[in-house]
Chains A and B, each alone.
Chain A
Amino acid sequence: MKVTFPHMGHIYIPLRAFFTALGVEVVVPPPVSRETLSLGTRYAPEFACLPLKVNVGNFLEAARKGADTVVMAGGVGPCRFGYYAQVEQEILRDLGVNLRMVVLEPPQGHWRELWQGLRDITGGAGLREIWRAGRLAWRKLTVLDELEHEVHRARAQEGERGATTRAWQRILDQVDEAGSVPEVEEAARRGKVLLKALPRREGEAPLRIGIVGEIYTVLEPAVNLELERVLGEMGAIVERSIYLSDWVKTNLVLHSLHLRDDREEYRLAAPYLGHFVGGHGLESISWTVRYARAGFDGVIQLAPLTCMPEIVAESILPKVSRDVGIPVLTFMLDEHASEVGVRTRLEAFCDLLCARRRQKEGGTAFAGVSRH
């Protein structure tokens, strides 16, 4: 059996570690590219959202590389993601592509199904083995999330353009290659040293921009047109409302044990939105409030075109923005999004934030001149 899974940011690293540790052969799909997108858009329904199209592209490319089994997450709630795995399965079947799909649903108390799914893939691995593989994968995931925070800081002040991105790629590869928890710790230590050693540029304090929105478009750089890198190179520090490790913690672990505490999310969003709307719609609202209170300069909302939870949030955000005094820019992304168009808007947004900051500080506000 050769297992593959969809790309989403650097999730391929912990997933590869997990399955490899259980003795399953893994085929990581090629990085999301134009080719992935064109495959996905050719075979997926036009009005499906971008994640589904990219998933299909990933699976077809992985099949070319010899994968025969797909591990796909399921979902619950009003977001369409809940039936993606089934739709994708049908698409693959219609194409006559020989891929078996194993869907892992968030357990929500139904542990047996998840357990059965894992045993299916691993050919009956024991609890102990799964625990050990899970521990390695989890450590890789948390280490990468920790380091990515630093990458965002370093990039906004890098002395040599592109140096941080190259260092980050090296760190990703080293963590990917680590075969045990101590090796992961060692890779993380070296990664921190590498980032600290990068030459920094002196100057004014960088802008701080919070990213909110739908998890897939927030986490997958190939579909958000490398928004975090582009903003970083313009001299802005980005922080995301969603990191994979937090998501796994709240959704897979705490939620299943009925320990998830989202009172804070609900409290902050309450004046604008009083209930769950699926996906991360509610979080987009509450995180915008949170970023404003934390003194961020601006917020960017990311979502795939036609994403219902985020459309709800989008229509509410102008009011939130006025009330808490933070500019918000929304990108609804699909296969037609152009890199140049996104860049123009990001530059203008940074100019706007710079000018605002300068005016607040009592300076002359001609129009901000940011670094790009």
Chain B
Amino acid sequence: MQAYLGIDVGSVSTNLVLLDEGGEVLTSLYLRTRGNPIRAVQEGLACVEREIPARLSIAGVGTTGSGRQLAAAMVGADAVKNEITAHAVAALSQVPAVQTVLEIGGQDSKIIILRHGVVVDFAMNTVCAAGTGSFLDRQAARLGVPIEEFGGLAVKAANPVRIAGRCAVFAESDMIHKQQLGHPVEDIVAGLCQALVRNYLNNVAKGKEIRSPILFQGGVAANVGMRRAFEEALGRAVTVPAHHAVMGALGAAQLARRAVADGSPSRFQGFDVSRWRFQVASRSCSGCANQCEVVEIRAGDRVLARWGDRCGRWSLTGEAAGR
């Protein structure tokens, strides 16, 4: 049996998805990146290797996320795609009629507008609305509520408190202020969800025409409080797909499947990658006035990829990451 592997290396989480020939999810994995994408990818591969049956072979690998280039060089990817396209592809595979994708991850948030199965517009957070996921994590920890129960608490609120949510720093100080006034925790949590949704709609989704079906993806979509706040603000139903937390990886796997659809062999280096020793080094090139920072990734004495130079003199993304 053949399968397609998708790897999404984000700043907060690293996700892996294994798809079968029919595009169904066999395995999915959600790991913390913890500032070490190489180790996260290796751990992920080791986990997947343990779980899969022996007769399964990997026919294609795709990478996405801010660490897509690094991951592609490590594993030998057949498709390397930005996270916006990967999320759109994943959303279409789950709900073919989807017209709007709201996505809030750990560090990034974005909106994707689709019409007739094609992305027609998108936006990604710049400064504001960044780190919504991480912020929710932190507030849950501060209030002593497990993050899994945080959203459920919001749904129980009778009178959500209005939180000033322009950015995380203001939101936190306002939350503390409201707490000191004695508001119940669930009202504060609900207010926080509303503030984050308001902030997302005003800063990321501004000016975009939000049509149904609407999918809400990313790690934060697990939070029922956030979903409810979206439905209230938009006045429409918002669907959270089953694999919402790993949609980027799912999309990357779909893209890998497509990349090898013409019968070309996969460049996947095998699960042994999880036991390799990788070294990443960077240095400043002094070939011209640009002073580019050239990054090189090696496995043993083999150079897998180089990038970062403007002129292309050092670039060696090779066949491994060049697609």
Contact = CB atoms under 8 A, between A and B. Distances in A.
Interface of A: 30-31, 33, 160-163, 165-166, 169, 226, 229, 233, 315, 318, 327, 332, 336, 340-341, 343-345, 347-348, 351-352, 355-356, 359, 365-367, 369
B269 to A, nearest CB: 22
Contacts of B33: none
Contact of B84 (A229, A336, A348): A348
Given A336-B127, A344-B66, A344-B82, A352 B122 contact: yes
Q: How large, as a class, is the contact surface on chain B?
A: 20 to 34
A196 to B, nearest CB: 20
B310 A165 contact: yes
B315 A161 contact: yes
Contact of B288 (A169, A332, A341): A169
A351 B119 contact: yes
Nearest to A305: B126
B89 A348 contact: no
Contacts of A366: 89, 92, 258
Interface string B244-262: 0000000000010011000
B311 A347 contact: no
Contacts of A369: 79, 255, 258-259
Contacts of A318: 207
Given A348-B84, A351-B82, A162 B311 contact: yes
A162 B82 contact: no
B302 interface: no
8 contacts: A161-B315, A165-B311, A165-B312, A332-B126, A352-B121, A369-B79, A369-B255, A369-B258
A348 B122 contact: yes
B85 A347 contact: yes
B114 to A, nearest CB: 10
Contacts of A165: 310-312
B54 interface: no
Contact of A163 (B84, B116, B118, B312): B312
Interface in B155-203: none
Contacts of B259: 369
Nearest to B317: A161
A8 B255 CA distance: 40
B296 interface: no
